Amino acid sequence: MSLTYISQQIVVYSGIIFLILGIFGNTMNAYVFSSVTAYRQVPSTFYFLVQSIFESIFLIINLLPRVIAFSYGYDFTSVSPQWCKLRQAILTISGSVSITVICLCAVDQYLVTSSNAAFRHMSRIKVSYRILLAVIIFWCLHSIPFYLYFDISPITRTCGSLNAALTIYLPIYFVLMFWVFPMLITSVFGRLTYRNIRQTIALADQRADRQLIKMTFSELIRTLVCCTPLATFHIYNTITSGIAKDQDRILKEYLAYTIISSIATFQYVSSFFIFLFSSSRFRRRVKGSLYFKQQTNSIVPTI
Q: Domains in the chain, ordered, with CATH? A: 3-280 (1.20.1070.10)
Residue 57 has pLDDT above 90, yes or no: yes
Q: What CA–CA distance (Å, rounded) separates 167 from 146?
A: 10
- Of 34-43, 66-75, 144-153, 286-295, highest mean pLDDT: 144-153
Confidence band, pLDDT 50/70/90 cuts, at residue 292: low
Choose among 157, 41, 163, 140: nearest CA to 90: 140
Q: What is the pLDDT of residue 209?
A: 62
Residue 1 has pLDDT above 70, yes or no: no
- What pTM value is reported for the model? 0.87
Q: How confident is the model at residue 89 (pLDDT cuts 50, 70, 90)?
A: very high
**Residue 298: CB partners within 8 Å, gap ≥ 6?**
none
* CA distances for 234 relative to 98, 171, 174, 239, angstroms: 20, 6, 8, 9
Please check whether residue 272 is in contact with residue 26, taking contact to mean a CB–CB distance below 8 angstroms.
yes
Q: What is the per-residue pLDDT across 205-260, written as a single tens digit (0 to 9) for each?
A: 444 467 778 888 888 888 888 888 888 888 888 888 778 888 888 888 888 999 99
Residue 298 binned pLDDT confidence (cut-offs 50, 70, 90): very low
% of the chain exceeding 70 in pLDDT: 92
Kindly tell me the number of DSSP H helices and DSSP E strands found in the chain: 14, 2
Question: Is 80 exceeded by the pLDDT of residue 81?
Answer: yes
Amino acid at 32: V
Mean pLDDT taken over the chain: 85
User: What pLDDT was estimated at residue 25?
Assistant: 93
DSSP code per residue over 53-103: HHHHHHHHHHHHHHHHHHHHS--GGGT-HHHHHHHHHHHHHHHHHHHHHHH
* pLDDT tens for each residue of 186-212: 888 888 887 877 776 555 444 446 777
Q: CB 25: neighbour CB atoms within 10 A?
A: 23
Residue 101's pLDDT is 93
Q: Which of 18-22, 104-108, 187-191 has the lowest mean pLDDT?
A: 187-191
